[in-house]
Structure 1
Amino acid sequence: MTKTSSGNFFEDFRIGQTIRHATPRTVTTGDVAIYNGLFGARFAVQSSDAFAKAIGYPRSPIDDLLVFHIVFGKTVPDISLNAVANLGYANCRFLAPVYPGDTLNAVSEVIGLKENSSRKTGIVFVRSVGYRSDGARVLEYVRWVMVRKRDENAPVSGEHVPRLPTALEPKVLGDACPPIDTSAYDNGLAGSAHRFADYSAGEKIDHSDGITVEEAEHMIATRLYQNTARIHFNQFIEGQGRFGRRLIYGGHVISLARALSFNGLANAFHVAAINGGRHVAPLFAGNTVFAWSEILAKAELPQRSDLGALRVRTIATRDKPCGDFPLKTGDADDPAVILDLDYWVLIPR
C-alpha cells in the first residue's frame, strides 16, 4: 500500500462529501512582504499599521486576496491536484478580518458534479470555508473546477449542478471590516480624493498600467499559498500537455488585476465579496496584464453609515491595453480577455 497520494480524480468525489484539508497555516508579515513584492498592492489600510489604527483597525489587516489564496491553497491537494483548469467562483464572502499571527485552515463540501461528454474529465463544485484557529469563519466561497478522470469508463456517483446566486445582497457585506472613522481617513495618504459619492453606476475606468509576468514570479506566488497543482510547476509534464508549458494560477491574475485597480479605485480598500468570476483564457509567463473596471452598481449599507459598497466588474487582458475597454468581439469574448470578475468593494463615504 503506497504512502504517497496521487490526489482525487473526478470519479473519487461524492455529492455531500466533506473534506478537512491539511495543513494549518499561520500568516506572518513575511507572507505579506512576499505578496506585496510579487503584486505591488498599494492600498493604504493593508500597507500601514499607522493608517489602519487611525481609522479603527487594531493594526493593518492581511490583504483580502492573500487570505483567499491561502485558504484556496489548502483545498488544492484534495480538490484540484488533478485539475485541467479552475473555471469560476461564486457566493464568496469575507467574514472576519485576518491579522499577522492568525492561523487559517479550511474545510470543503462537494455540492455538485457533472461529467463532461468526453468522459475524460468532469466538473466538481465545492463550497469551501476558511477558519481561524479560534473557530471563527473568515471566508466562504464556491468554486468549480474541471478535474481529470483516472478511468474514462468509471461510473459517476450521481450528478447535480447547483444553482448559485448571481450577486450577494449589500445587507450581507461588511462583516470583515470594523467601524471606520471616516474623518481620520486621509485621502492624501490613501492616494485618491475619490470616495463613494464620486462614483456612478455605468462608469468605466481604464487602470492604465500593465504588469509583465515572469515564470519565477507565478511559481513563487503559488508556492506561497502552498498550492500544489501540478499544472503550475511541472514543465517536464506540462511540456507534453495541451499548452506545452506551465499554466499560471488563475488567482495570480485576480491579484494582478486588483493591484492594477488601485489606479482609479485607491480608496476601495476592502474586497467584501466576490459575486462571480470566470477565467476566460489562460495566462503564460511573458504576457503583460492590463485591466479596466466598470461600476455596475452602488449601494448604501443598511447597517452602517461609514462606508458604501461599489459593485465592480474588472476585466483583465493579456498583451492589450484597455483604453477602449475590450470585452467582446461580436458575441464572443475578446481574444485578449483572460479574467472577468464581478465583486463588491467597500469605500469610505
Structure 2
Amino acid sequence: MAKTNPGRFFEDYQLGQVLTHAVPRTVSGGERALYHALYPARHALYSSDEFARASGLAASPIDDLAAFHVVFGKTVPDVSLNAVANLGYAEGRWLKPVWAGDTLRSESEVIGLKQNSNGKTGVVYVRSRGVNQRDETVMEYVRWVMVRKSDLDAPAPETVVPELSKVVAPEDLVIPDGLDFSGYDFALAGESHRWSDYEIGETIDHVDGVTIEEAEHMIATRLWQNTAKVHFDATFRPDGQRLIYGGHVISMARALSFNGLANAQMIVGLNGGAHANPCFSGDTVKAWSEVLDKAETSAPGVGAIRLRLVATKGGEPFKLKGEDGKYLSEVLLDLDYWALMPL
C-alpha cells in the first residue's frame, strides 16, 4: 500500500467537501524577522511594539500578510499541490490579529467546481479559514485554483460556480479591539499623509523596484511551507522555470507601497485579486496603487481605505489592460483590498 501522497487532482474534489489541513504552526518573532528580511516591509505598526501600544494594541501583531501566508501554506497540499495556477481571491477578511505565540491551523470547504473545456483541468473554488489555538477564526477568504486531472476519463462534475461578493462591505470589516489612531505619530510612521488627504480615483506611483531573486523566493516558499510543485520543481513546467509564489509578489508589492501609503497600516479586507501573469526570478517588481473607495469606522481616529494594488515587471504605471480587456503582459498582480489608516 502506497504511503506517499501525490496530492489531489480535479476529479478528487466534491462539492461541500471539508478539508482539514495538516501541521498546525506556532508563529513567533522569527516569522516577523524573516518577513521583514525577505521584503522591504516598514509599516510602523508591525515594526514596533511601542508604536502598536500607542495605537491601542497590546503589542505589535504578526504582519497581516505573514499570517495570510501561514494560513495559505497549510492549504497547499490539499488544494493546489497539482495546480496549474492560482486564479483569484474574494471575500477575504482579517478577523483577529495574530500574535507571537499563537498556533494557526487551516481548513477549507469546496464551494464550487467547473471542468474546463479541454477536459484536462478544472477550477476548484474553496473557502479557507485560519483558526488559532482558542478555536477563533483569525482570517477567511475564498480562492479558486486551476487543477490538473489525473484520470482524463473521469466524468465531469456538475458545474457549480459560487456567487461571490465583488467587495467586502465596509460595515463587515472587523477593526481590532482597542485600535485607536487619535494620537497617531506621523513622524515615526514615516509620512504625513492621512485618510483625509486621499481622494477616490487618485493614483500613486510607488517609484521603487525590487528584482526577484531565486534564493529569496525559495526561502519564502519554504518559510510558508508552500509545497506547490510549480514553485520547487524546475522540471514541472515545460519552460524549465520555477514559478514565483504569487504571495511573494503580493508581499513585495505591499512593501513597495510604503512609499506613498506608509500610513495604510492594517489590511482588514481582501475584495479580489488576480495573478495576471507569471513572475520568474530576475523580474523587477514595481507597484502602483489606485484609491477605489473610503469609509469611516467606529474606531477612534481610524478610517478604512480601499486600494487597488498593481504589481508590474516593466511598462508605464497606471496601465492595466489593453483594448481587448485583457491584462497587459507586464502586469503581475491586480489586488483589491481594504486597509486601516489614521483620519
TM-score (norm 1): 0.96
**What CA deviation, in whole Å up to 9, does each residue of 1:161-210 have, x standing for no partner?**
101000011011133x2333324311000001111111100100000000
Counterpart in the other structure of 1:346: 340
The 5-angstrom pairing of residues 69-88 of structure 1 reads 69-88=69-88
2:238 to 238, 242, 247: 242
Q: Which amino acid aligns with 2:202?
A: E
Q: Is the 8 A contact 1:280 1:337 kept in 2?
A: yes
Offset at 1:40? 1.4
**What CA deviation, in whole Å up to 9, does each residue of 1:266-307 have, x standing for no partner?**
011000100000110000000000010000111112x33421
CA distance in 2, matches of 1:105, 1:150: 28
Q: Which amino acid aligns with 1:311?
A: R
CA distance in 1, matches of 2:95, 2:242: 33
Classify the secondary structure of the residue corresponding to 1:333. Answer: coil
Classify the secondary structure of the residue corresponding to 1:209. Answer: strand
CA distance in 2, matches of 1:255, 1:65: 7
The 5-angstrom pairing of residues 9-20 of structure 1 reads 9-20=9-20
Matched, 1:318 2:322: no
Offset at 1:244? 2.2
Counterpart in the other structure of 1:283: 279
Q: Is the 8 A contact 1:290 1:320 kept in 2?
A: no
CA distance in 2, matches of 1:258, 1:55: 21
Offset at 1:93? 0.2
Q: Which amino acid aligns with 1:309?
A: A
The 5-angstrom pairing of residues 106-145 of structure 1 reads 106-145=106-145
The 5-angstrom pairing of residues 64-213 of structure 1 reads 64-175=64-175, 177-213=176-212
CA distance in 2, matches of 1:229, 1:197: 42
CA distance in 2, matches of 1:320, 1:286: 16
Counterpart in the other structure of 1:309: 304
**What CA deviation, in whole Å up to 9, does each residue of 1:224-272 have, x standing for no partner?**
111100110112x23xx23321000111111011001100110110001
The 5-angstrom pairing of residues 266-281 of structure 1 reads 266-281=262-277
Q: Is the 8 A contact 1:71 1:104 kept in 2?
A: yes
CA distance in 2, matches of 1:4, 1:262: 43
CA distance in 2, matches of 1:29, 1:136: 21
Q: Which 4+ stretches in 1 moved above 6 angstroms?
A: none
Classify the secondary structure of the residue corresponding to 2:272. Answer: strand
Q: Which amino acid aligns with 1:344?
A: W
Q: Is the 8 A contact 2:93 2:174 kept in 1?
A: no
Q: Is the 8 A contact 1:208 1:321 kept in 2?
A: no
Q: Is the 8 A contact 1:22 1:74 kept in 2?
A: yes
Matched residue count: 342
Q: Which amino acid aligns with 2:257?
A: S
Q: Is the 8 A contact 2:114 2:157 kept in 1?
A: no
CA distance in 2, matches of 1:320, 1:218: 23
Q: Which amino acid aligns with 2:74?
A: K
Q: Which amino acid aligns with 2:303?
A: G
Classify the secondary structure of the residue corresponding to 1:286. Answer: coil
Matched, 1:329 2:322: yes
CA distance in 1, matches of 2:158, 2:239: 32
Offset at 1:129? 0.7
Matched, 1:265 2:258: no
Offset at 1:158? 2.4
CA distance in 2, matches of 1:304, 1:56: 10
Q: Which amino acid aligns with 2:288?
A: W
Offset at 1:321? 5.5
Counterpart in the other structure of 1:50: 50
Q: CA RMSD in A?
A: 1.1
Q: Which amino acid aligns with 1:13?
A: Y
